[in-house]
Structure 1
Amino acid sequence: SDPLDGWYTAEKAVYDAGGNGVTGHYTNCMGDYDYVGLTTNESTGTSAADFNSARESGTQVSVDEFEAALNSYVAPYETALNSAKVTYDQTVADQSAITAAKQTIAGCKNAYTKANNKVKKIKKINKQLAKAKKAYQKALKASRKKTSHKKKAKHKK
């Protein structure tokens, strides 16, 4: 997990004890180099080392210069990533809106079906009422005729 601990400290102990074991990283660290770089990627648990003795002065950069160059290199990718995230977030929001709209549509269809069934019942009842009214009017008319015939018959007597 720590290249300095594993490649330097642990291997130095083996080297100091007579070198019975792997000591290549330690001996490399102790070689005649202009620089030794060690790094660890904590998310993957991997480590790397870089040893160099043929460094040209024109290629050396300070930490600030390296960081600026790295940030410049990474910036377009971060911009693209941020843009993709905005698009993704909008798509998720749109999908939520679509889902809500579909639920509203389903509710409206259900309400329409219920209302339409009520309208059908009302139309059926209205037909029945119209028949009943017609029958009532017919019966009333017949009753009046009977009453009228009876009155005429009484007057003749």
Structure 2
Amino acid sequence: MAPAAAQVQRCTDTRTGQVTYTDGPCPSHQRSVEVLPAQTPEEKAAQARQYEEAQARWQAEQARTEALRRAEAEKAAAQAAAAAAQRPPVQIQLPPPAEPQVVPYPVYPYPPAYPPGHRPRPPHGKPPPPEPEGPWQCNVFRCYDGKGNVRPRP
């Protein structure tokens, strides 16, 4: 004989955290959770069968939806191809080549060719310092003579 399944409530006191179990409702100051009895092997097997059947139904529905979507896409592609075949091809007309434009100022080629009568500008800045006389030793930045004199490199 199978045991009778009674509804069991787990009551947790919100102030103290104490847990009690009862077959009736919990008091208002306690939180209530329904405790389910353990399943028998037969109930577990029935639940597994239901899950597998639901999975099979879902997969069949997905396959049917995918097949309908593919069929609609193929039908739309065929209609688009038929409509494109009925339209005449597009003729592209290019405008005639433009006349060369005449600019009102002279255009000089590169490298620059100076116009007639052009005088080059004088050089800018100070003239370079004169070369040192005598036995000077120069490095990248300065020149030194044997007497301890230093000057910038020319």
Higher-helix-fraction structure: 1
Higher-strand-fraction structure: 2
TM-score, length of structure 2 as denominator length = 0.35
TM-score, length of structure 1 as denominator length = 0.34
